A = this chain, B = another copy of it.
């Protein structure tokens, strides 16, 4: 990572600290919120807690590294995503209302695609700025990315959502679009983070700005895609639990 100018430095520092607070408190929030939903949907809320807990740890490590001016280790983000992205897709299946006998297969497919997406992104992320490796791995990682979106909108999850109406159907539809929107930030931030990429050049970022944009971009996307997305999951799980007659005691 390039040496950052002072104000950029301050921005990344504050963004990482903000994320530690947001993730850690969301971890606790989702843990205590488990009892608000019926046992059938509880694992979705448990997964939200785990996602935020894992992210809290990694943001703490990134923040510590950054404040010690150690070389920035992108490995933390990828280790985090390797653990959390399969959980993000798995919790969506739990609340999607997909038939139980299909759920396991869909979860497996989504989780494998998620792991491949992260594994393909990493060598590109740590490749030299402007190298062809950076662009090639970006393209390769987009294949499982698009496959996941396809399952959510046209494949098994898309089909299951067609049959849902009323408040729950609307919430599920929002959930899909929020996922698509927040996840789209990642490939864009990746390109902007490579100061020699066509996109960074088009926007006119120098290498210090580029480093700031990628770190702040990933951080905002993570806060929306983890604690934010978890709120929608919780809302759907509560609505389903109520509809099925669950009452917290």
Contact of A57 among B24, B50, B53, B248 (CB under 8 A): B24
Annotate A17-61 by CB proximity to B: 1 below 8 A, 0 otherwise: 110111011001101111010010010001001100110011001
Do residues A14 and B75 form an inter-chain contact, with CB atoms below 8 A?
yes
Q: A14-B73, A73-B14, A79-B14 are in contact. Are A50 and B28 (CB under 8 A)?
A: yes
User: Hey, which chain B residues are within 8 Å of A156, CB to CB?
Assistant: none
| Contact partners of A247 in chain B: CB under 8 A | 39
B46 near A32 with CB under 8 A, answer: yes
- A21 contacts B58, C-beta separation under 8 Å: yes
Q: Counting CB contacts under 8 A, is A120 at the interface?
A: no
CA distance A10 to B126 in the complex (A): 12
B73 contacts A22, CB within 8 Å?
no
Asked if A249 CB lies within 8 Å of chain B CBs, one says: yes
In whole angstroms, what is the CA distance A17 to B18 when docked? 20
**A33 contacts across to B, CB distance below 8 A:** 46
Query: Which chain B positions have C-beta within 8 A of A39?
Result: 36, 247-249
- With beta carbons under 8 angstroms apart, the residue of B21, B50, B61 that contacts A79 is B21
Give A46 Cβ to nearest chain B Cβ, in Å: 6
Encoded as 1 (CB less than 8 Å from any B CB) or 0, chain A from 80 to 106 comes to 101100000000000000000000000
Question: Could you list which residues of chain A lie within 8 angstroms of chain B, going by C-beta atoms?
Answer: 10, 13-14, 17-18, 20-22, 24-25, 28-29, 31-34, 36, 39, 42, 46, 49-50, 53-54, 57-58, 61, 73, 75-76, 79-80, 82-83, 247-249
12 CB < 8 A contacts A-B: A10-B75, A14-B73, A14-B75, A18-B79, A21-B57, A21-B83, A24-B57, A25-B50, A28-B49, A32-B46, A36-B39, A39-B249
A10-B75, A14-B73, A17-B61 provided; 4 other pairs, C-beta below 8 A? A10-B73, A21-B57, A28-B50, A31-B32
